[in-house]
Protein backbone atom coordinates (compact mmCIF):
# COMPACT_ATOMS: atom_id res chain seq x y z
CA UNK A 1 0.00 0.00 0.00
CA UNK A 2 1.22 3.53 -0.72
CA UNK A 3 1.55 5.95 2.17
CA UNK A 4 -1.45 7.88 0.85
CA UNK A 5 -3.56 4.70 0.86
CA UNK A 6 -2.40 3.81 4.37
CA UNK A 7 -3.28 7.26 5.66
CA UNK A 8 -6.66 7.23 3.90
CA UNK A 9 -7.51 3.85 5.42
CA UNK A 10 -6.40 4.95 8.90
CA UNK A 11 -8.27 8.26 8.64
CA UNK A 12 -11.45 6.37 7.80
CA UNK A 13 -10.99 4.07 10.78
CA UNK A 14 -10.44 7.02 13.09
CA UNK A 15 -13.52 8.77 11.68
CA UNK A 16 -15.56 5.66 12.44
CA UNK A 17 -14.19 5.68 15.99
CA UNK A 18 -15.18 9.34 16.34
CA UNK A 19 -18.78 8.44 15.44
CA UNK A 20 -18.68 5.54 17.84
CA UNK A 21 -17.09 7.13 20.91
CA UNK A 22 -17.72 10.88 20.81
CA UNK A 23 -20.90 12.43 22.25
CA UNK A 24 -20.68 15.08 19.48
CA UNK A 25 -18.82 13.57 16.49
CA UNK A 26 -19.50 16.56 14.23
CA UNK A 27 -17.36 18.78 16.49
CA UNK A 28 -14.25 16.59 16.44
CA UNK A 29 -11.16 17.49 14.40
CA UNK A 30 -8.20 15.24 13.66
CA UNK A 31 -4.77 16.89 13.88
CA UNK A 32 -2.05 14.84 12.23
CA UNK A 33 1.00 14.81 14.51
CA UNK A 34 3.28 14.97 11.50
CA UNK A 35 6.73 14.80 13.15
CA UNK A 36 7.05 11.29 11.70
CA UNK A 37 6.82 12.54 8.10
CA UNK A 38 9.32 14.35 5.93
CA UNK A 39 8.08 17.08 3.60
CA UNK A 40 7.46 14.70 0.69
CA UNK A 41 5.56 12.24 2.85
CA UNK A 42 3.58 15.21 4.11
CA UNK A 43 2.34 15.75 0.55
CA UNK A 44 0.85 12.25 0.70
CA UNK A 45 -0.84 13.22 3.93
CA UNK A 46 -2.32 16.28 2.21
CA UNK A 47 -3.36 14.20 -0.81
CA UNK A 48 -5.27 11.83 1.44
CA UNK A 49 -7.62 14.73 2.18
CA UNK A 50 -6.30 15.63 5.65
CA UNK A 51 -6.44 19.32 6.44
CA UNK A 52 -4.63 19.93 9.73
CA UNK A 53 -0.89 19.64 10.30
CA UNK A 54 0.38 19.60 13.88
CA UNK A 55 4.13 20.07 14.24
CA UNK A 56 6.04 20.01 17.49
CA UNK A 57 9.36 21.40 16.27
CA UNK A 58 9.80 24.86 14.81
CA UNK A 59 12.54 23.94 12.36
CA UNK A 60 10.48 21.10 10.86
CA UNK A 61 7.42 23.31 10.69
CA UNK A 62 9.34 25.97 8.79
CA UNK A 63 10.73 23.49 6.26
CA UNK A 64 7.35 21.91 5.64
CA UNK A 65 5.55 25.22 5.38
CA UNK A 66 8.13 26.45 2.86
CA UNK A 67 7.72 23.27 0.83
CA UNK A 68 3.94 23.71 0.79
CA UNK A 69 4.36 27.40 -0.11
CA UNK A 70 6.42 26.33 -3.12
CA UNK A 71 3.70 23.89 -4.13
CA UNK A 72 1.12 26.66 -3.73
CA UNK A 73 -1.01 24.66 -1.30
CA UNK A 74 -0.07 25.99 2.14
CA UNK A 75 -3.27 28.03 2.42
CA UNK A 76 -5.30 24.84 2.05
CA UNK A 77 -3.80 23.61 5.32
CA UNK A 78 -4.53 24.60 8.88
CA UNK A 79 -1.14 24.83 10.62
CA UNK A 80 -1.03 23.94 14.31
CA UNK A 81 1.86 24.03 16.76
CA UNK A 82 1.75 21.28 19.39
CA UNK A 83 5.27 21.22 20.87
CA UNK A 84 7.17 23.03 23.56
CA UNK A 85 7.53 26.74 22.90
CA UNK A 86 10.52 29.06 23.02
CA UNK A 87 10.11 32.82 22.93
CA UNK A 88 12.85 33.48 20.40
CA UNK A 89 11.27 31.09 17.86
CA UNK A 90 7.73 32.46 17.86
CA UNK A 91 8.59 34.88 15.05
CA UNK A 92 9.10 31.96 12.67
CA UNK A 93 5.47 30.86 12.66
CA UNK A 94 3.33 33.56 14.27
CA UNK A 95 2.36 34.94 10.85
CA UNK A 96 0.55 31.82 9.70
CA UNK A 97 -0.17 29.61 12.69
CA UNK A 98 -3.86 28.79 13.08
CA UNK A 99 -3.72 27.29 16.57
CA UNK A 100 -1.05 26.93 19.27
CA UNK A 101 -1.97 23.98 21.53
CA UNK A 102 0.90 24.26 23.96
CA UNK A 103 0.74 27.54 25.89
CA UNK A 104 2.17 26.10 29.09
CA UNK A 105 3.25 29.14 31.15
CA UNK A 106 2.38 32.79 31.62
CA UNK A 107 5.65 34.12 30.21
CA UNK A 108 5.13 32.37 26.88
CA UNK A 109 1.53 33.60 26.71
CA UNK A 110 2.84 37.15 27.18
CA UNK A 111 5.49 36.63 24.50
CA UNK A 112 2.91 35.36 21.99
CA UNK A 113 0.70 38.34 22.79
CA UNK A 114 3.59 40.72 22.21
CA UNK A 115 4.59 39.19 18.86
CA UNK A 116 0.95 39.12 17.79
CA UNK A 117 0.46 42.79 18.69
CA UNK A 118 3.43 43.81 16.55
CA UNK A 119 1.68 42.20 13.61
CA UNK A 120 -1.83 43.32 14.55
CA UNK A 121 -2.89 39.70 14.75
CA UNK A 122 -4.96 37.69 17.16
CA UNK A 123 -3.59 34.22 17.80
CA UNK A 124 -5.81 31.27 18.70
CA UNK A 125 -4.38 29.34 21.64
CA UNK A 126 -5.06 26.49 24.00
CA UNK A 127 -3.73 26.42 27.54
CA UNK A 128 -1.76 23.24 28.19
CA UNK A 129 -2.63 21.80 31.58
CA UNK A 130 -0.63 19.27 33.56
CA UNK A 131 -3.64 17.41 34.93
CA UNK A 132 -1.68 14.32 35.93
CA UNK A 133 0.87 16.45 37.88
CA UNK A 134 3.84 14.49 36.54
CA UNK A 135 7.15 16.26 37.15
CA UNK A 136 8.28 15.61 33.60
CA UNK A 137 5.22 17.17 31.99
CA UNK A 138 4.79 20.66 30.60
CA UNK A 139 1.74 22.72 31.39
CA UNK A 140 0.02 24.82 34.00
CA UNK A 141 -1.06 23.05 37.15
CA UNK A 142 -4.77 23.59 37.76
CA UNK A 143 -4.07 26.01 40.61
CA UNK A 144 -1.66 27.96 38.38
CA UNK A 145 -4.43 28.44 35.83
CA UNK A 146 -6.56 30.04 38.52
CA UNK A 147 -3.65 32.14 39.86
CA UNK A 148 -2.94 33.52 36.39
CA UNK A 149 -6.39 33.66 34.90
CA UNK A 150 -6.85 37.43 35.04
CA UNK A 151 -3.44 38.08 33.52
CA UNK A 152 -4.08 35.51 30.78
CA UNK A 153 -7.45 37.03 29.99
CA UNK A 154 -5.94 40.52 29.80
CA UNK A 155 -3.73 39.54 26.85
CA UNK A 156 -5.81 41.03 24.05
CA UNK A 157 -3.96 39.47 21.14
CA UNK A 158 -4.31 35.98 22.53
CA UNK A 159 -7.61 34.26 21.83
CA UNK A 160 -7.88 31.40 24.31
CA UNK A 161 -10.34 28.90 22.88
CA UNK A 162 -9.75 25.83 25.02
CA UNK A 163 -7.43 23.48 26.88
CA UNK A 164 -4.94 20.77 25.99
CA UNK A 165 -3.41 17.93 27.96
CA UNK A 166 -1.33 14.78 27.56
CA UNK A 167 -2.22 11.63 29.48
CA UNK A 168 0.51 9.69 31.31
CA UNK A 169 2.18 6.68 29.71
CA UNK A 170 0.34 3.89 31.42
CA UNK A 171 -1.74 0.84 30.61
CA UNK A 172 -4.18 1.82 33.33
CA UNK A 173 -7.32 2.93 31.52
CA UNK A 174 -8.86 4.52 34.61
CA UNK A 175 -5.85 6.77 35.19
CA UNK A 176 -6.04 8.01 31.60
CA UNK A 177 -9.80 8.43 31.77
CA UNK A 178 -9.54 10.52 34.93
CA UNK A 179 -6.98 12.84 33.35
CA UNK A 180 -9.27 13.54 30.39
CA UNK A 181 -12.28 13.88 32.66
CA UNK A 182 -10.27 16.33 34.77
CA UNK A 183 -9.49 18.52 31.74
CA UNK A 184 -13.15 18.63 30.73
CA UNK A 185 -14.27 19.49 34.27
CA UNK A 186 -11.73 22.32 34.42
CA UNK A 187 -12.84 23.62 31.01
CA UNK A 188 -16.50 23.58 32.06
CA UNK A 189 -15.66 25.38 35.31
CA UNK A 190 -13.57 28.05 33.56
CA UNK A 191 -16.35 28.56 31.04
CA UNK A 192 -18.82 29.31 33.81
CA UNK A 193 -16.53 31.43 36.01
CA UNK A 194 -14.36 33.29 33.52
CA UNK A 195 -14.97 32.63 29.83
CA UNK A 196 -18.70 32.77 29.30
CA UNK A 197 -18.65 29.58 27.25
CA UNK A 198 -15.83 30.67 24.93
CA UNK A 199 -13.62 27.66 25.67
CA UNK A 200 -15.01 25.38 23.00
CA UNK A 201 -11.97 23.13 22.44
CA UNK A 202 -10.49 20.18 24.31
CA UNK A 203 -7.30 18.91 22.65
CA UNK A 204 -6.71 15.49 24.17
CA UNK A 205 -6.04 11.98 22.96
CA UNK A 206 -3.23 10.46 20.88
CA UNK A 207 -2.86 7.13 19.04
CA UNK A 208 -3.05 4.99 22.16
CA UNK A 209 -5.77 6.79 24.05
CA UNK A 210 -7.91 8.79 21.62
CA UNK A 211 -10.97 6.57 22.08
CA UNK A 212 -10.97 7.29 25.81
CA UNK A 213 -10.45 11.00 25.09
CA UNK A 214 -13.36 11.02 22.65
CA UNK A 215 -15.62 9.42 25.26
CA UNK A 216 -14.70 12.27 27.63
CA UNK A 217 -15.53 15.00 25.12
CA UNK A 218 -12.34 15.68 23.14
CA UNK A 219 -12.95 18.07 20.24
CA UNK A 220 -9.40 17.77 18.87
CA UNK A 221 -7.38 14.54 18.79
CA UNK A 222 -3.67 14.61 17.88
CA UNK A 223 -2.77 11.43 16.04
CA UNK A 224 0.66 10.34 14.81
CA UNK A 225 1.71 6.68 14.69
CA UNK A 226 -1.82 5.32 14.22
CA UNK A 227 -2.24 7.47 11.08
CA UNK A 228 0.99 6.70 9.30
CA UNK A 229 1.61 2.99 9.95
Name the site residues for ligand PLP (rule: CB under 6 A). Answer: 33, 35, 56, 82-83, 206-208, 222-226
Between 41 and 207, CB nearer to ligand PLP? 207
- Residue 61 CB, shortest distance to ligand PLP, in Å, is 12
Between 84 and 107, CB nearer to ligand PLP? 84
- Residue 56 CB, shortest distance to ligand PLP, in Å, is 4
Between 155 and 166, CB nearer to ligand PLP? 166
Between 82 and 190, CB nearer to ligand PLP? 82
Residue 204 and residue 212: Cα distance in Å, rounded? Answer: 9
Q: Helices marked H in the chain — which ranges?
A: 3-21, 39-47, 58-71, 106-118, 142-153, 173-190, 210-215, 225-228
119-130 as b/e: b if 16+ CB within 10 A = eeeebbbbbbbb
Between 160 and 223, CB nearer to ligand PLP? 223
Least Cα distance to 227 among 29, 92, 36, 28 occurs for 36
Residue 31 and residue 150: Cα distance in Å, rounded? Answer: 30
Q: Is the dihedral of CA 161, 158, 205, 179 positive or negative?
A: negative
Residue 30 and residue 127: Cα distance in Å, rounded? Answer: 18
Residue nearest ligand PLP, Cβ-based:
224
CA-atom Rg of the chain in angstroms: 17
Between 106 and 206, CB nearer to ligand PLP? 206
Helix (H, G, I), strand (E, B) or coil at 136: coil
Amino acid sequence: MSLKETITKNLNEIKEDIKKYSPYPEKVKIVGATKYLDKYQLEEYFNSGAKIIGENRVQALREKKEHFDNLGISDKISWHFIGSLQKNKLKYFIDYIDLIHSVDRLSIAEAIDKEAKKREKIINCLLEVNISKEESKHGFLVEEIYENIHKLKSLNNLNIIGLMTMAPFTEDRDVILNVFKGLKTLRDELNVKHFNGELTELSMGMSNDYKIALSQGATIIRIGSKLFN
